[in-house]
Amino acid sequence: MTDSSLPRAGDAKRTRRFAWLLFVGLFVLYHANTTVLDEGDAVPTINLPLALLQTGRLSFDPDVHPELFKWKSKAPFVELDDFFLVDWRQPFGGKPASEWRKSGHLTLNGPRYYVLEAPHRGAYVSTFGPIPALVALPFIAPFYAIDHDLAYKLALKTSVGKVGASIIVAGIAVLLFFITLRKTTVERALLLGVLYGTATCAWAVSSQNFWQQTVNQGLLVLGAFFLLGSEDVRRRVALAGLFFGAAAACRQTGVIAVALIAGYLFLFHRKSTLPFALAALVAPALVALHQLYYFGTPFAAAQEVVGHMIAKEKTGSPDLWQTPLARGAAGLLVSPSRGLLVFSPVLALAVLGLYRIIGNRTFGALQPLALFTLATMAVQSKWFDWWGGWAYGYRPWLDVVPFLVLFIEPVLGEAIATFARRLAFGAAFGWSVFVQGLGAMTYDHSWNLREVFVVRRPDRAAPEAFLREPEARLYAEKHSGEYLGPSLCNIDLPFCRHRLWWFADSMILYHFEEYSLTRSRRLPPSWHQLGVPITVPGPPRP
């Protein structure tokens, strides 16, 4: 693309056209896979706005939202501790689930991990707090107005959540375009917007469902948009404070950003510190009132409480910060199935950008953002499940990926200065886009619980796993071992976690080889269900 084919920064009208083209192009791309995926962490964010519209409360009720709870089933059902249902009107054996509950065949067995009981009110609240759901509300409310049964149509409400998430992510790309346009040419600003939208896990993960991190990225980038602006300093830093404060209320790592930016303003723009600080308190104060109402204390942190329980379940220890920093950071950088440099190698340029920014005061407000990015990456590397549970790529670092893209701008000129560098940059960019497109088309959770074939050798205490049965049998025969058969290997379990480092078991390779199978396991969007009443006969929900 030549210089004449793109507008200069001063051509505001044409610049807006390119911004719209970027937004619409990414939005269409995010829906081009024509499928959706139900993600556990996104479930409360999609359902809490529906609960608010249905009951007027920011909490869940087992009588209204059975999907968010575990149910113990008795014969004639298969006896399970976690029987799943979405709607009490679902028929089983000719009777609705509500009748089976009344007869004692389905009994409450506690909330799922993404919901926490708030004893102070006898209610259940989202583990991820109210902020993501309140951001989702304006996206979900219009669809609820059309279909009051939306909460009970799993694929459809997931599709609605994807619409909202894809709008946010495409909007972040546009904000990055405008932020970088203040420092560079339209061509390069547009390139960086496209890079964020197609070559990072913003495509494969953030745009595909209403994650807490999808919302947090939007809040952080809105804050950066105002912080890095040039006009009306006090007004823009107050707006920056409002959004960074909302990010802190959304995810606790945002507190680091607020503290670093406040410190920077105090040192270099002291008169702006108070407007920033006061605005940054608004969202946390509202969330504190929410916590006071439901938990009896403004300092309750549902995600921390649930985190201790999950840490105990996954690792045997309730310690949230048990991962050695070097191991977690190495995993999120170079693990074959989680590494940022594996899934988005084009972001390697951000390392050089970070070095330049931190060491040069002329970069101004980018410096606290750079320090925040490094601090957040370090904190997530220490987290007990540094790999982010069942996920595609480097999900724990998603919050700061937009900033990593920002940090490429100061070094982008050098990266494409010669033919050889442009070739290397293009190769890294192309691979990154391929990996993200592959994830958007095929990611379906199955790699995280992959079938392996187990062999026990007489001279080794621990059994060994193989990806293919013939290979396992041959190994057992060669070493006088015993072939134990197939087993599902969950990467959340300690004895399966070696798979995160196993190149032969790379998630990317798995989804490439099993493209048709994994794609077939994703859900259809089910837009045809919108507005169609659920007509299953039976009494109302209990």
* Residue 10's pLDDT band (cuts 50, 70, 90): low
Handedness of CA 108, 110, 116, 121 (dihedral sign): positive
* Residue 9's pLDDT band (cuts 50, 70, 90): very low
Is residue 324 classed exposed, middle or buried when 0-12, 13-18 and 19+ CB atoms within 10 A define those classes?
A: exposed
**Cis amide linkage into residue 76, ω under 30° from 0:** yes
pLDDT at 468 over 90: yes
* Residue 541's pLDDT band (cuts 50, 70, 90): low
Q: What is the mean pLDDT of residues 519-535?
A: 93
Q: Are 530 and 417 in contact (CB under 8 A)?
A: no
* Residue 523's pLDDT band (cuts 50, 70, 90): very high
Share of the chain above pLDDT 90, in %: 90
Q: What is the mean pLDDT of residues 293-303?
A: 91
- Secondary structure E strands in 204-355: none
pLDDT at 542 over 60: no
- Within 8 A by CB and 6+ apart from 420, the residues are none
Q: What is the CA radius of gyration of the chain?
A: 25
Per-residue pLDDT tens over the stretch 213-258? 999 999 999 999 999 987 667 789 999 999 999 999 999 999 999 9
Dig out the tokens for 249 from the structure: 């209320």
Whole-model pTM?
0.94
Helices 419-442 + 401-415 axis angle, to 10: 150
pLDDT of amino acid 7:
45
Phi-psi region of 293 (alpha: psi -120 to 50; beta: other; left: phi over 0): alpha
Q: Are 109 and 81 in contact (CB under 8 A)?
A: yes
Of the candidates 452, 465, 441, the residue with the CA atom closest to the CA atom of residue 514: 441
Per-residue pLDDT tens over the stretch 351-393? 999 999 998 989 999 999 999 999 999 999 999 999 999 999 9
Taking CA atoms, 417 is separated from 147, 233, 414, 420, in Å, by 54, 35, 5, 9
Adjacent-strand bridge partners of 115: 126
* Residue 14's pLDDT band (cuts 50, 70, 90): confident
Q: What is the mean pLDDT of residues 257-264?
A: 97
Amino acid at 398: L
pLDDT of amino acid 235:
83
d(CA 157, CA 429): 33
pLDDT of amino acid 231:
60
d(CA 494, CA 315): 7
Distance of CA 450 to the CA centre of its chain: 22
Q: Half-sphere exposure of 369 toward its Cβ, with a 13 Å CA cutoff?
A: 28
Q: Are 450 and 510 in contact (CB under 8 A)?
A: yes
